[in-house]
Amino acid sequence: MMQQVAMTMTMQDMATQMQMPRTTKGAISIRNVTKIYDPEGVNVMAVDNCSLEIAPGEICMIVGPSGCGKTTLLNAIAGFHSITHGAIYLDGEMLCGPAKPKADESSDRVVVFQNGALFPWKTLVDNVAYGPMVQGRMTKAEARDKARQMLAEAGLADMTDKYPGEVSSGMARRAEVVRALINDPKVLLLDEPYRAMDALTKSIMHEALLEMYDRTKVTIFFITHDLEEAIFLGDRVVVMATRPARTKKIVNVNIPRPRTYKLLSSNEFRLLAEETKDAVHEEAIKAFEAGERELA
């Protein structure tokens, strides 16, 4: 019975993919965005005149030193806070701009958070089923069936009835990506999701993410510190200048997919890493010195 449901689901998915390629949606256009915080009468510029075009279905990696304003940009796209100047468009529609500085929060732009934000009081299956249920797209039973199926596809079939506190951080993070993808979002916003993980777990997470990406071809806006991660996952790597954030350098990663971990030791990869590293290192030094000045 369950298998039958799963079968028809995948057939439907295949059909929709063939008729209408998923890659036609999820274009983000960031145009001259500036964000100035003004907490106590002192202006702090977090993002300065930043522009970036992200193609539908692209994996766009944002790299830059800590506190450079990357997350500010992500929060503006998600609608968690407003922008001061400029505009952000999603598929030609203005999310936020001069007339409307704060975007509406919506399930077409789902965030996976830095420290993980699965609801600890819900089991994995209920966490994943939450989105479709509250949006009224599915009944609770339907949402849970779909959630079970998607968790199984992500290799979490045995974990569906556990609470987030009972599974490893890697599994929790994977479930969080599934919780985002069940909403069929146009854009997935990831804010250093694998930051606290060891290199081995990270590599497993990367392959799982790419697998999920291959199934959905969702646009991914991915913030990271990890250069290797950025090149391995991304179609493009955007190096940000330190605060205020601006695009400093964009590196195209023309390595065909599917990618495997053998890539990491290839010459191609090494050359890209070198190209990116100089730009990132320069900014890291600037950020570090700026930090020292702030303390002094």
- Indicate whether 100 belongs to the interface with other proteins (CB under 8 A): no
Minimum distance of other proteins from residue 113's CB (angstroms) = 5
Number of chain residues interacting with other proteins (CB under 8 A):
30
DSSP the chain: -HHHHHHHHHHHHHHHHHHS-GGGS--EEEEEEEEEE-SSS--EEEEEEEEEEE-TT-EEEEE--TTSSHHHHHHHHHTSS--SEEEEEETTEEEEBTTBSSPPP-TTEEEE-TT----TTS-HHHHHHHHHHHTTSS-HHHHHHHHHHHHHHTT-GGGTTS-GGGS-HHHHHHHHHHHHHTT--SEEEEESTTTTS-HHHHHHHHHHHHHHHHHH--EEEEEES-HHHHHHH-SEEEEEPSSSB-EEEEEE---PSSP-GGGGGSHHHHHHHHHHHHHHHHHHHHHHHHHHHHH-
- Indicate whether 179 belongs to the interface with other proteins (CB under 8 A): yes
Minimum distance of other proteins from residue 195's CB (angstroms) = 14
> CB-wise, 13 or 105, nearer to other proteins?
105
Minimum distance of other proteins from residue 148's CB (angstroms) = 14
- Indicate whether 70 belongs to the interface with other proteins (CB under 8 A): no
Options 29, 66, 84, 106; binder of other proteins; rule CB under 8 A: 106
- Indicate whether 119 belongs to the interface with other proteins (CB under 8 A): yes
Within 194-253, the residues that bind other proteins by CB under 8 A are none
- Give the binding site for other proteins (CB under 8 A): 78-80, 105-107, 109-111, 113-115, 117-123, 130-131, 134-135, 161, 163-166, 179, 183
